[in-house]
Structure 1
Amino acid sequence: MFLRVASAAAAAMILTAAPAAAQDKFPTREVRLIVPWNAGGSNDIAARKLAPILAENGINIIVDNVPGGTGTIGMGRVASAAPDGYTLGMGTSSTLSMIAQGKTPLRNEQFSGIARISSDPLMLLVHTDGPKDIDAFVAKMKANPGKVTIGTPGSYNINHIFATMTAKAAGVDYVNVPYPGGAKVIVDLAGGQVDAGVLKPSESISQIKAGQVRPIAVFANERLDVFPDVPTMKEKGFDVFPYGPVVQMAYVVGPANMPPAVRKTLVDAFRKSIQDPRFKAFAAENGVLVDDLTGDALDKEVNDVQKSLNAVATQVFKGKD
């Protein structure tokens, strides 16, 4: 009798343990990666480049483009998702700029860092029929105060900051033309609908090679390896970092309070995929910088960039609605 009871108890334990073990396994289905920008932009391209590599490392993702609000609409969906690891989002410095100015209720504490995808230098580009260099562009702005148009993916973000600082260098006002993503900016710039655009190399390299647009300056302290002949704003005597350095970056996060084991699985898979030679080659070809920043270290970096933007963005956009 005792043996039958013991056997029954053991069987019950096995049956109850099996579902628990199944629940602990992650992932058991596809993971949704929200890219809060239009398809065809640099963040979307990077996500889709990573997707097959991630699949080899155990994470099958579905890229979901949710543009709007300079990234805040899509990231809002991530913040409110269940913290089970099945909904992730691609945060950017643009959304951090919106947080800095109080233009969104989002807060960095609502997210758990997974991995930084890229750090992206930004460039000022014109149509191939436009000014030949940054000096000529500044001269054009001075000759047409308040009329020159500069397209940016979103508004009140780092792209917008650099467009504004370019106008400050010329000592005149300009017209900012915000778009829901870099892909839209480059189309209108190539079509001559705007005078210039502030974009990443990865968003514009195809049109540059096709001779439709031309980069005339880099918003960085050093020239880019992919465009060694394009000068920096600094070397041309224009200070675009008067309130402190800022960096444009893209990174993957999940909702706050994810189970540690789930977060570790995601961190490990994304780290391995980002360090994969195929993704590194893609990054180099597109002027994208990649590193090995994940988990808590990424959270710290995001908070540090946020502090910088809290000072920079509010100074640049002081008095603007």
Structure 2
Amino acid sequence: MKEISFIRQNIAKWKDVEKVVDQADELDPAHLAAVYTDITSDLSFSQSHYPASRITVYLNNLASSLHNRIYKNKKEHKSRIITYWTKEIPRVMRDSQKELLYSFLIFAISMFIGSLSTLNDDTFVRLIMGDSYVDMTLNNIRNGVPMAVYNGNSELSMFLGITLNNIRVALVCFAMGILSGFGTGYIIFSNGIMLGAFQTFFYQQGLLGESMLAIWIHGTLEISAIIVSGAAGLAMGNSWLFPGTYSRKASFTRGAKRGLKIVIGTLPIFIVAGFLESFITRHTQLPDSLRLGIIMLSLTFVLYYYLYLPNTLRYELSESKN
């Protein structure tokens, strides 16, 4: 990239950074850290491509000024643990809406494929779920307890096992993003295929409604968190495939940090989903209205936290620039 193009593309952002330096004492530490990461990435790019340029000197001074304002008092606010979840995660999701959309589309398409395949091939669900699981479920249906699979173990052991496994899947989904996003896409796709086949199998047994009331008590949060973890992996993978104005190394570092923050943000959701699956889902005798209420409450949280709140921050940011 020519130096003049680099300057024109970023000059407005650098002017905003100058304002951030002046107002550093009044701004949220997480926002300062994000701005500092951004400006140091630009500095790294400039040092690599225009080492003798005045723009490199300018960016070095700007980054140094912001660094000094951030670290003149290193003491963390006690509320940081709260603002991490209420501000930092929504901010990073604001910048990851594209990856979130891609992750959702991959999952939705794979669910459709899994469902269609199960409808047209009686052996497909056995290929995906395994003969032992399908036979066990059919036996449970004959015995009048189609959701008995959730009663197999004690609540606590089930909670620990499910939660740790779901967190492992999320971390693998993120880590596979290092393979340019294709690895992450595979994890999302395989989970979507499985869910599509699973739900269609219960539809074929005339138990779609009952299965959805049971499965989506925990599945609303669990599946949503997997999709969000997919967005984290795609953010990391796309960062080195499409570095933009940054060096590939700098872009990858930014993408990896953004993805890691996203996937860490899913951990409490997996914990709550594991609790619901272990302690609530098994009680199929609960009123349908209560079970549906839990599902709708979970869905409302997901839509608010991962879509509405980040886009509200995006709107506020655009308004402040105007």
Q: TM-score range by the shorter chain?
A: under 0.3
- Between Structure 1 and Structure 2, the one with more helix by share is 2
- Between Structure 1 and Structure 2, the one with more strand by share is 1
TM-score, normalising length: structure 2: 0.24
TM-score, normalising length: structure 1: 0.24
